[in-house]
Amino acid sequence: MRLTGALPNFVVFAALIAVAVIADLTGNPYIVTLATKVAIFGLAGVGLNLALGYGGLVSFGHAAFFGLGGYVTAILASHAASATPVATFPFTMMGTNEMLAIWPFAILVAGFAALVIGALSLRTKGVYFIMVTLAFAQMLYYFAISWPTYGGEDGLSFYVRNTFPGANTFAPLQFFGICATMLAITMVLVALLTQSRFGLALRAAKENETRVIASGIKPFAIRLTAFVLSGMVAGLAGALFADLNRFVSPTMLSWHMSGEIIIFVILGGVGRLAGPIAGAAVFITLEYLLGPISDHWQALLGFLLILIVLFAPKGLMGLALGKRGNA
Amino acid sequence: MTLKGKLIAGLATLALTAGMAHAEGVKVGMITTLSGGGAGLGIDVRDGFQLALKMAGTSDVELIVEDDQQKPDIAVQIADKMIQSDQVDVLTGIIWSNLAMAVVPAAVAQGKFYLSPNAGPSALAGAGCDKNYFNVAWQNDNLHEAAGAYANSAGYANSFMLAPNYPAGTDAIAGYKRFYEGAAAGEVYTQLGQTDYAAEIAQIRNSGADSVFFFLPGGMGIAFMKQYAESGVDIPLVGPAFSFDQNILQAVGDAALGVRNTSQWNKDIDNPANAAFVEAYQAEYGRLPSLYSSQGYDTANLLLSAMAKADLKDADAFRAALEAADFASVRGDFAFGPNHHPIQDIYVREVVKEGDVYTNKIIGTALEDRGDAYAAECKM
Amino acid sequence: MLLLAEQVLNGLQYGMMLFLMAAGLTLVFGVMGLINLAHGSLYMVGAFACAAVAAATGSFWLGLAASLAAAAALGALVEIVVIRRLYARDHLDQVLATFALILVFSEGTRWLFGSFPLYLSLPPVLSGAVTLPGGLIYPAFRLAIIVIGVLVALGLFWLITRTRLGIRIRAGEADREMIAALGVDIAKLYTMVFALGAALAGLSGALVGSVQSVQVGMGEPVLILAFVTVVIGGIGSIKGALIGALLVGMTDTLGKALLPGLFARFMEASAATSVGSALASMLIYVLMALVLIWRPTGLYGARA
């Protein structure tokens, strides 16, 4: 990683930490909650960016992975609370409320779904890819609404935030710390990945497919790998989001959610490591500040977004950095 | 440690960081839907609530209103904010059952009172009931049960039943069948948010039913009734008041005329409290109140009645004052059952046109002093 | 048998309704390469304009004209102010900007008309039911929608293949620089195409709004369905949009009508209705996934 490239990402991340810590010290736990939300949506965005920003794969269905991660968390936690097994076949599996035990499951389930959806969707390109990923997410959404076992449209509450060794997850700042740490680890891994041979091949496949094929690399395999990794990160973010709210519902799987994650990525700057964090931060701050002004705050938000697209075509980080940073 | 023990222990941390100091009076946090397609219901609840405060002329209630955008995760975060940062004493306002399920259990576990002006999911009426949770509207099944009772008295023996495929929809049909004694000509679950009912109306036409029970809240009901009226099928409709409230009726128009529906309130219920409410509401907002307005109004008056009797700092006394329900409800007699859900009469109304305005007229009583089916499961 | 015939007719009618929505979308998609999420908002604007004018004048037909005019005018305005700056951008910027437009239009409409659904009903000539040959009783407005759908389809084919505007549209699709070099004012052409697409959305909003609910947010579910339709048919193809719309309409209607009964043959009744309807609501997305896996550019899309 070049220092000049890494610095803006570091600044964005540090600013997020600073906001959370200052809010906690000044007795504003709700601001800490909002910062946590930024970290979680930022994480989902970092995941999506891997497919969208670096791989050029515009997925309109990442809510599927986000929601699956959330549902895995809620299902394991609610079974742990009621002391009933999650499954009895092929082996008895009990629930758990340990985050460290839940996360691998959430990531694996999301990754497996991404493998299946990606393998089928990657046959298509461009707008068709956008829509076919949406289709798969919508199938899961309608399934979740009408499947009664885990609450259907009412969603599933588990009331108690899951536990993490050595931390009180109820304390807003400590839970924020957990989310921010996962975000930091993921950002480092993504940075390493995009600088690796794999990352170069992924970007090359986006820029010039023919040349990549000529050099003996299979773009399909590269893209599928990126898509699966991207889904896994979204799954982890979903798991954290479930814990933030102690609740999951089909809205986590809806196309609005997919759209929101895409918007965080575009708003911050496509293909920039910390872009989604900046995007989520700006979006959530606007929501928070405009809400009390008027019942019609969403119109104001819309106007601001239009101005940003028209006058900051490379996203907020692009606007802030001018022509310099392009990491 | 039990689940509840853990929850309380964990949440105590929050309460400590939040601190306890605030002055006299009661701080009320209202989480309701004020933007998007479902905003009409939230606006009515808020307006009814605020009207009651204004008419009482009290300055002891500080009301904070926030928009949940009809999204459960937003509602949860607003509830966290109101409890942690704003330090409210009482929460209220939620319209939708799924949002209530996400917010209420955690809020009452932290010692806050929750007064529900609309949603009444069965989970919160039965095993999941709580001493700090009061429902001022109805248990979700109530109006459907009343529709079933009405169907018997109207002599219907073969009903076609229609509801969206989600928990409130399956509860609606279950509630109807709890009282309805006839046969089922068909039972159809539609997609949530569906707006075209051609396929279902064709099934109704061919079912040989003598009545159609439907629960399709909001825009779904408007679409269904318009299309049903155009289809030439003339099997009588019956349903809960949600598809026939004051605001929806104006959008349905003639297609709703004559339809029988069940409600715990109507603007022509003859008591002084209701007359004063309907008049003041029209004067204040320039429109007729809806079912939801009446529920918001009653919720505020219940709160005021408890504040007059007890200090909120003494939670047990305040709870007892709420349980007494010593206020003049616009629906007439009103009492709480053992699970803090209403015991009230539920009426049958008919849609009529008064001048240019479509509205409802009470034509009978479907159920008297109805409590709910889950009270026995509630251990407080 | 009569029931099945009625359901097939319902599927046809639903398909035509979707076609009216999808035609404008695919036109804009195909000619300008623009993903317009705000297409559903134009549909909503059409419905509100129709309801407002019909309420003020008492005439549904004036309302219908107003819906065309309002949607076309708003479409042209939005194209000139916002959209035309986005043609050169990639799809992502278009998604963000048009998503922002949805927020502006929805809240703007709520600000103008309030939070409650509006009243709009059919004119007497279209209301009520008629008896078809074979004894089938069928609502008149559903027949009218089928007829209007066919007329719009014919009109669009005529426009694209037989008129100067159509020739320019096709030329613009094929080669943007070339057509500009030929002295055609490309900016004006794009504004016209966008306004035409918007007018089609407004028209379908008014027609559909008269038998559904005219309320804020009514455009969003339809938008997704219209995209599904366009993508199944192949982007930019009017013929594809027509075939796609009919496929989606039939699949959805027949799925809803037949699946619960099918499951009831080997399942307990209440579980069958619940599983059957759950599957029915997923069916069109399954259809779309299958079509795209089989043909990655839709049924009539340009082959890469």
A235-267, pLDDT tens digit by residue? 999 999 999 999 999 999 998 899 899 989 988
Q: What is the rounded CA–CA span in Å between residue B328 and residue B323? A: 14
Shared-domain flag, residues B219 and B235:
yes
**Beta-carbon separation of A159 and B18 below 8 A:** no
Q: What is the rounded CA–CA span in Å between residue C32 and residue C10? A: 33
pLDDT confidence tier of residue C71, bands split at 50, 70 and 90? very high
The yes-or-no verdict on residue A324 having pLDDT over 60 is no
* Tokens at C109, concatenated: 């409409």
Q: Name the residue among A151, A251, A297 with its Cβ closest to that of B71.
A: A251
Q: Which residues of A touch C95 (CB under 8 A)?
A: 259, 262-263, 266
Q: What is the rounded CA–CA span in Å between residue B208 and residue B185? A: 7
The CA distance from C181 to the nearest CA of chain A, in Å, is: 27
Task: For B313, list phi and psi in degrees, rounded to 5.
Answer: -65, -25
Name the average pLDDT for chain B. 89
Q: Name the residue among C86, C110, C296 with its Cβ closest to that of A296.
A: C110
Assess if residue C32 is contained within a domain: yes
Q: The complex's ipTM?
A: 0.84
The yes-or-no verdict on residue B4 having pLDDT over 60 is no
Name residue A111's amino acid.
G
- CA nearest C37: which of C280, C221, C290? C221
Q: Which residues of C touch A58 (CB under 8 A)?
A: 91-92
**Beta-carbon separation of B72 and A145 below 8 A:** no
pLDDT value, residue B19: 39
Q: How many CB pairs under 8 A join A and B?
A: 106
Share of chain B above pLDDT 70, in %: 93
pLDDT value, residue B58: 86
In chain C, the residue whose alpha carbon lies closest to the alpha carbon of A270 is C92
Residue B154: give its domain's CATH number. 3.40.50.2300
pLDDT, tens digit, 9 for 90 and up, residues C145-183? 999 999 999 999 998 888 888 888 777 777 767 777 777
On the CB side of B152, CA atoms within 13 Å amount to 15
Comparing A71-80, A214-223, B11-20, which segment has the lowest mean pLDDT?
B11-20
Shared-domain flag, residues B359 and B307:
no
**Beta-carbon separation of C278 and A146 below 8 A:** yes
3-state secondary structure of B162: strand
In chain B, the residue whose alpha carbon lies closest to the alpha carbon of A31 is B81
More confident residue, C94 or A117: A117
Assess if residue C249 is contained within a domain: no
For chain B, how many structural domains are there in total?
2
**Beta-carbon separation of B232 and C129 below 8 A:** yes
Shared-domain flag, residues B185 and B314:
no
The yes-or-no verdict on residue B282 having pLDDT over 60 is yes
More confident residue, B5 or B103: B103
The β-bridge partners of B135 are B116
pLDDT value, residue A101: 92
Shared-domain flag, residues B164 and B99:
no
Q: Specify whether the CB–CB gap between B349 and B244 falls below 8 A.
A: yes
A301 CB near a chain C CB, below 8 Å? yes
- CA nearest A64: which of A122, A3, A5, A116? A116
The CA distance from B127 to the nearest CA of chain A, in Å, is: 14
pLDDT value, residue A239: 97
pLDDT value, residue A1: 42
Domain of B37, in residue numbers: 3-140+270-343
Q: Specify whether the CB–CB gap between C233 and C299 falls below 8 A.
A: yes
pLDDT value, residue B236: 95
Cα C215–chain centre separation: 17
pLDDT value, residue A99: 92
Comparing A72-86, A266-280, A289-303, B84-98, which segment has the lowest mean pLDDT?
A289-303
Comparing B3-7, B28-32, B116-120, B222-226, which segment has the lowest mean pLDDT?
B3-7
The yes-or-no verdict on residue B329 having pLDDT over 70 is yes
- Contacting partners of chain C (3+ CB pairs under 8 A): A, B
Q: 10 Å Cβ neighbour count for B55?
A: 17
A120 CB near a chain C CB, below 8 Å? yes
pLDDT value, residue B247: 85
pLDDT value, residue B17: 42
As a whole number, mean pLDDT of residues C274-288 equals: 85
The β-bridge partners of A98 are A163
The CA distance from B99 to the nearest CA of chain A, in Å, is: 8
Pair type for strands B158-164 and B211-214: parallel
Shared-domain flag, residues B127 and B70:
yes
The CA distance from C53 to the nearest CA of chain A, in Å, is: 24
Q: Specify whether the CB–CB gap between C92 and C223 falls below 8 A.
A: no
Q: What is the rounded CA–CA span in Å between residue B201 and residue A131? A: 31
pLDDT value, residue B8: 53
pLDDT value, residue C87: 85
The yes-or-no verdict on residue C268 having pLDDT over 80 is no
- Contacting partners of chain A (3+ CB pairs under 8 A): B, C
C-facing residues of A in 148-187 (CB < 8 A) are: 148
The yes-or-no verdict on residue B6 having pLDDT over 60 is no
* Tokens at C125, concatenated: 């000539």
C304 CB near a chain A CB, below 8 Å? yes
pLDDT value, residue A311: 86
Q: Tell me: cis bond preceding A165? Omega within 30 of 0 counts.
A: no
pLDDT, tens digit, 9 for 90 and up, residues A22-48? 999 998 888 999 999 999 999 999 999
Q: What is the rounded CA–CA span in Å between residue B357 and residue C295? A: 54
On the CB side of A130, CA atoms within 13 Å amount to 18
As a whole number, mean pLDDT of residues C246-274 equals: 84
DSSP string, A168-182: -TTSHHHHHHHHHHH
pLDDT value, residue A207: 82
Shared-domain flag, residues B153 and B252:
yes
Shared-domain flag, residues B93 and B229:
no
pLDDT confidence tier of residue B284, bands split at 50, 70 and 90? very high
More confident residue, C217 or B279: B279
The yes-or-no verdict on residue A3 having pLDDT over 50 is no
Comparing B89-103, B150-164, B189-203, which segment has the lowest mean pLDDT?
B189-203
Q: Name the residue among A37, A172, A249 with its Cβ closest to that of B98.
A: A249
pLDDT, tens digit, 9 for 90 and up, residues A302-315? 998 899 888 887 77
**Beta-carbon separation of B7 and A160 below 8 A:** yes
The CA distance from C180 to the nearest CA of chain A, in Å, is: 24
pLDDT confidence tier of residue A322, bands split at 50, 70 and 90? low
pLDDT value, residue A327: 41
Q: Which residues of A touch C85 (CB under 8 A)?
A: 310
Q: What is the rounded CA–CA span in Å between residue C126 and residue A121? A: 44
Name the average pLDDT for chain A. 88
The yes-or-no verdict on residue A180 having pLDDT over 80 is yes
3-state secondary structure of C212: coil
pLDDT confidence tier of residue C303, bands split at 50, 70 and 90? low
Q: What is the rounded CA–CA span in Å between residue B189 and residue B159? A: 14
Shared-domain flag, residues B177 and B224:
yes
Q: Which residues of A touch C301 (CB under 8 A)?
A: 128
Residues 6+ apart with CB under 8 A from B112: B83, B88, B89, B90, B91, B132
Q: Specify whether the CB–CB gap between B73 and A247 falls below 8 A.
A: yes
pLDDT value, residue B23: 44
Assess if residue C34 is contained within a domain: yes
Assess if residue C304 is contained within a domain: no
As a whole number, mean pLDDT of residues B239-261 equals: 91
The yes-or-no verdict on residue B18 having pLDDT over 60 is no
**Beta-carbon separation of A297 and B35 below 8 A:** yes
Shared-domain flag, residues B101 and B150:
no
pLDDT, tens digit, 9 for 90 and up, residues A124-153? 888 889 888 998 999 999 889 878 788 888
The yes-or-no verdict on residue C304 having pLDDT over 60 is no
Q: Which residues of C touch B200 (CB under 8 A)?
A: 256
Domain of C206, in residue numbers: 2-216
The DSSP output letter for A53 is I
Sign of CA dihedral C175, C86, C230, A58: positive
Q: ∠B107-B50-B26 over CA atoms, to 5°? A: 45
Shared-domain flag, residues B8 and B125:
yes
Q: What is the rounded CA–CA span in Å between residue A146 and residue A141? A: 9
* Tokens at A267, concatenated: 């708003």
Q: Name the residue among A29, A154, A295 with its Cβ closest to that of B85.
A: A29
Q: What is the rounded CA–CA span in Å between residue B59 and residue C183? A: 72
C85 CB near a chain A CB, below 8 Å? yes
Shared-domain flag, residues B27 and B134:
yes
Q: Which residues of C touch B224 (CB under 8 A)?
A: none
For chain C, how many structural domains are there in total?
1
The yes-or-no verdict on residue B2 having pLDDT over 90 is no
* Look-up of token digits 């990525």: A265
pLDDT, tens digit, 9 for 90 and up, residues A281-291? 999 998 888 87
**Beta-carbon separation of C104 and A255 below 8 A:** no
Q: Which residues of A touch B102 (CB under 8 A)?
A: 155, 157, 245, 247, 249
- Contacting partners of chain B (3+ CB pairs under 8 A): A, C
More confident residue, C120 or B132: B132
The CA distance from C183 to the nearest CA of chain B, in Å, is: 46
As a whole number, mean pLDDT of residues B165-185 equals: 91
The yes-or-no verdict on residue B35 having pLDDT over 80 is no
**Beta-carbon separation of B36 and C214 below 8 A:** no
